[in-house]
Chains A and B, each alone.
Chain A
Amino acid sequence: EIVLTQSPGTLSLSPGERATLSCRASQSVHNNYLAWYQQKPGQSPKLLISGASRRATGIPDRFIGSGSGTDFTLTISRLEPEDFAVYYCQQYGDSPIFTFGPGTKVDIK
């Protein structure tokens, strides 16, 4: 089973700053099938990135996914007020078919 570890647990930043979120897998992610989601309180997760680096439809280009194998990064180049949320990574392909990381909370400093 692939285990995803996200760091840091919480990131305290100010609007306009750059956020760098890490997702590390215990084994290589099949075909880099790694996705990122944003979740705000009381809402369901929203897809940001698929295939490690492809932005979903309508996602601003300040969200940048990168990485391969076991190490992946979500960068938010310049935080907007609406970006403060919890971010999850998710892999697809190994048993169990989907696993999620525990999340990184980006909060306002």
Chain B
Amino acid sequence: EVQLVESGGALVKPGGSLRLSCTASGFDFSNVYMNWVRQSPEKGLEWIALIHRDVDSRPSLYPTPVRGRFTISRDDSRNTLYLQMNSLKIEDTAVYYCSSQGYLGELTGWGQGTLVTVSS
């Protein structure tokens, strides 16, 4: 059974930094593209980062709102996905989910989410 468990969400001030983690189990983590998706009442579901497999040697991808501020990474030896978030803005407030990706671009597994609140 696919299990994804996020952690690291917190209350942080604008301009601050935060690192989220996601521990995976129940599938071959190293062979799967992984993503971070966030959800807020204002913007709904919003994809924010994709990381390919290490063997693909392809750059990670980000949408415009977070590019240059967020960095996705993975440690296949620990079955763990990370999201480093810098220069946080109020509009980054959301529940952050990690998600595994399938062959047709679907998001097959989701964690329970971790809440990030950016507020002064």
Complex contacts, B90 vs chain A, CB 8 Å:
none
Find out whether the CB atom of A90 lies under 8 angstroms from the CB atom of B106: yes
B105 in the interface (beta carbon within 8 A)? yes
- Pairs A-B, 3 closest by C-beta atoms: A92-B105, A50-B106, A98-B47
Find out whether the CB atom of A33 lies under 8 angstroms from the CB atom of B104: yes
Selected from B37, B104, B110, the residue in CB contact (under 8 A) with A92 is B104
Find out whether the CB atom of A44 lies under 8 angstroms from the CB atom of B105: no
Binding site for B on A (CB under 8 A): 31, 33, 35, 37, 43-47, 50-51, 54, 56, 88, 90-93, 96-100, 102-103
Complex contacts, A37 vs chain B, CB 8 Å:
107
Find out whether the CB atom of B106 lies under 8 angstroms from the CB atom of A35: yes
What is the distance, in angstroms, from A39's C-beta to the closest C-beta of chain B? 9
Find out whether the CB atom of A96 lies under 8 angstroms from the CB atom of B47: yes
In the complex formed, the residue of A with least CB distance to B65 is A96
Find out whether the CB atom of A44 lies under 8 angstroms from the CB atom of B104: no
Complex contacts, B104 vs chain A, CB 8 Å:
31, 33, 35, 50-51, 54, 92
Complex contacts, B106 vs chain A, CB 8 Å:
33, 35, 47, 50-51, 56, 90, 92
On whether A100 and B46 interact (CB within 8 A), knowing A44-B110, A44-B112, A46-B110, the answer reads: yes
On whether A97 and B108 interact (CB within 8 A), knowing A44-B97, A44-B113, A50-B102, the answer reads: no
Considering the chains assembled together, what is the distance between the CA atoms of A93 and B101 in angstroms? 13
Complex contacts, B107 vs chain A, CB 8 Å:
35, 37, 45, 47, 90, 98
What is the distance, in angstroms, from A69's C-beta to the closest C-beta of chain B? 16
B59 in the interface (beta carbon within 8 A)? no
Considering the chains assembled together, what is the distance between the CA atoms of A106 and B45 in angstroms? 18
On whether A103 and B44 interact (CB within 8 A), knowing A96-B63, A98-B35, A98-B37, the answer reads: yes
Find out whether the CB atom of A93 lies under 8 angstroms from the CB atom of B47: no
Complex contacts, B113 vs chain A, CB 8 Å:
44
Complex contacts, B112 vs chain A, CB 8 Å:
43-44
Find out whether the CB atom of A33 lies under 8 angstroms from the CB atom of B105: yes
What is the distance, in angstroms, from B94's C-beta to the closest C-beta of chain A? 13
In the complex formed, the residue of A with least CB distance to B49 is A97
